[in-house]
Chain A
Amino acid sequence: MAEIELHGTWPSPYSYRVLWALKLKGIPYEYVEEDLSNKSPLLLQYNPVHKKIPVLVHGGKPICESMIILEYLDETWPQNPLLPSDPYERAVVRFWVKFIEDKGPSAWVVFRTSGEEQEKAVKDSLEMLKTIEEHALGEKKYFGGDKIGMVDIACSGIAHWLQVIEEVVGIKILEPHKFPRLHAWTKTFKEAPIIKDNLPNQDEMLVFFKQAREKLLASA
């Protein structure tokens, strides 16, 4: 079997998506930490278009964009499938993956901004959470039903990173009484096997993101 490398950064939620998929499928891999302030020639060679992580390299061939990597992993290693087999159900999963890709970043806008811009981003984030709780999660244990699926992994930012953003900016967004089902899912997701042993340390993340926000606001 050809060698697999995951090029990522701590504590990127996009990196972790791929890491979890690899571990959930029991795929052996080597992790390469990239320095985004000083991008390696290898990263620029593997992802010349976006110059971003994560990049999965399989047998020397790079695949970019975390959710595209996940579809690749699911097709190449079908054990513990992340996507259902029915075409209609797959279309529904892909719809929610796209939704979170398009709307999820509003939480990061909350992190990066202040004042009116931040207020709008908070409003957008609340709408996003409401939609996914009502339409995507419903009464299910996981977005994927009885077990973790692609949408759970795509929404993991909400489970683990949102808390850090909230603490750094001092604004509560995912309030348990406002989003009871989604809040329950964040706990269930983080206690799931594999996930719980592979989460970035929250205290370390707080330090990291506090510093990052200070830098951002200073240069604004």
Chain B
Amino acid sequence: MAEEVILLDFWSSPFGMRVRIALAEKGVKYEYREEDLRNKSPLLLQMNPVHKKIPVLIHNGKPICESLIAVQYVDEVWKDKSPLLPSDPYLRAQARFWADFIDKKIYDIGRKIWTTKGDEQEAAKKEFIEALKLLEGELGNKPYFGGESMGYVDVALIPFYSWFYAYETCGNFSIEPECPVLIAWAKRCLQKESVSKSLPDPQKVYEFVLVLKKKFGIE
């Protein structure tokens, strides 16, 4: 049966990276299409009319929008390999809780770090480290959030690691001394090809952030 899988994405999007990792973990062959977010393709607008955002996973012509929803879809459809969500309902609820926590906190607070300065930036940095510490607590001494192998929460969080250098440089702080366990986890994830091939070079992300800052007139 011929499966057609297309991913509409943008190279620096942590949300897009999540779907890339999930597809790679499952060994799914797909076509990656880079979107120009200043000039969105008719396909993107047709496949995600509500939000007009990436990532959009298109499976046999049908769109799945929102990164975590796409990751769950990939997990359910290609269920015979590398399960991302645990099979126990209680553990699944916990995994969903932490992925939801990551969605509520990491992106928005991270964004504040590079778009603000002074007191507002200091507050964002503090909140960011607090959120990472909570996640460290959840990781405990497991190699991955998913236990012995990467799971849903790992996939939800690891893309943001490619943005840490940008956050640290813009915010003039260092994450590793505060969250050594989390940084060790991130480096462990990067040993996996599914992750290393899905994440961009942090230096490139930082250069992109500088371009955005200039564009939005942020000092």
Q: Which residues of A are in contact with B by a Cβ distance under 8 Å?
A: 49, 58, 61, 63-65, 68-69, 71-72, 75-76, 87-88, 90-91, 94-95, 98-99, 131, 135
Given known pairs A99-B50, A135-B49, the reply for A91 and B90 (CB within 8 Å) is no
CB-CB under 8 A from B77, the residues of chain A are: 87
Contact A65 B90 (CB under 8 A): no
A157 to B65, CA, bound (A): 24
Main secondary structure of the interface of A (DSSP, over half): helix
The reply on B72 being an interface residue by CB < 8 A is: yes
B36-89 interface with A by 8 A CB criterion: 49-50, 59, 62, 64-66, 69-70, 72-73, 76-77, 89
CB distance from B21 to the nearest CB of A (A): 18
Does residue B93 face the partner (Cβ distance < 8 Å to A)?
yes
Contact B97 A68 (CB under 8 A): yes
Residues of A within 8 A of B97 (CB): 49, 63-65, 68
Given A49-B97, A87-B77: 18 more A-B contacts, CB < 8 Å:
A61-B90, A63-B90, A63-B93, A65-B97, A71-B92, A71-B93, A72-B89, A75-B89, A88-B62, A91-B64, A91-B69, A91-B70, A91-B72, A91-B73, A94-B66, A95-B64, A98-B66, A99-B50
B101 at interface by CB-CB < 8 Å: yes
**Residue B31 CB within 8 A of the other chain:** no
Main secondary structure of the interface of B (DSSP, over half): helix
Does chain A have a CB within 8 A of B134?
A: yes
The reply to whether A75 and B92 contact each other, CB–CB distance below 8 Å, is yes
Per the 8 Å Cβ criterion, residues 87-114 of B in contact with A are 89-90, 92-94, 96-97, 100-101
Given contacts A75-B92, A76-B89, A91-B72, contact A68 B100 (CB under 8 A): yes
Complex Cα gap A214–B17 (Å): 46
Nearest CB to that of B70 among chain A residues?
A: A91
Between A and B, how many residue pairs show CB distances below 8 Å?
56
Shortest B136–chain A CB gap in Å is: 13
Q: How far is the CA of A178 from the CA of B11 in the complex (A)?
A: 41
What is the CA–CA distance of A98 and B15 in the complex, to the nearest angstrom?
Answer: 15
Whether A94 touches B49, Cβ cut-off 8 Å, given contacts A63-B90, A71-B93, is no
Docked-complex contact B69 and A98, CB < 8 angstroms: yes
Check A58/B90 contact, CB under 8 A, given A88-B73, A131-B50. yes
Can you report 12 residue pairs joining A to B where beta carbons are below 8 Å apart? A63-B90, A65-B96, A69-B93, A71-B93, A75-B89, A75-B92, A76-B89, A87-B77, A88-B59, A90-B76, A94-B66, A95-B66
Q: Given the complex, which residues of B lie within 8 Å of A99, measured CB to CB?
A: 50
Q: Which residues of A contact B93 (CB under 8 A)?
A: 63, 68-69, 71-72
Q: A75 CA to B97 CA in the complex, in Å?
A: 15
Distance A5 CA – B97 CA, assembled complex (angstroms): 19
Given contacts A68-B97, A131-B50, is CB(A94)–CB(B72) below 8 Å? yes
Closest chain B residue to A96, Cβ basis: B50
**Which 10 pairs across A and B sit closest by C-beta, in order of nearness?**
A87-B76, A75-B89, A72-B93, A91-B73, A91-B64, A63-B93, A94-B69, A68-B96, A76-B89, A87-B77
- Which partner residue on chain B sits nearest A64 by CB separation? B97
Shortest B151–chain A CB gap in Å is 16
Note all chain B residues with C-beta closer than 8 A to A88: 59, 62, 64, 73
Question: Which residues of B sit under 8 angstroms from A49, Cβ to Cβ?
Answer: 97, 101, 134
Q: Which of A49, A87, A91 has the most CB of B within 10 A?
A: A91
Q: How far is the CB of B28 from chain A (nearest CB, A)?
A: 14
Chain A residues near B96 (CB-CB < 8 A): 65, 68, 71
Identify the closest chain B residue to A58 (Cβ): B90
Q: Which residues of B contact A135 (CB under 8 A)?
A: 49-50
Residues of B within 8 A of A65 (CB): 96-97, 100
A146 CA / B189 CA spacing, docked (Å): 44
Nearest CB on A from B123, distance (A):
19
- Residue in B73, B89, B134 whose Cβ sees the most chain A Cβ within 10 Å: B89
Query: Measured between C-beta atoms, what is the minimum distance from B137 to chain A in Å?
Result: 10
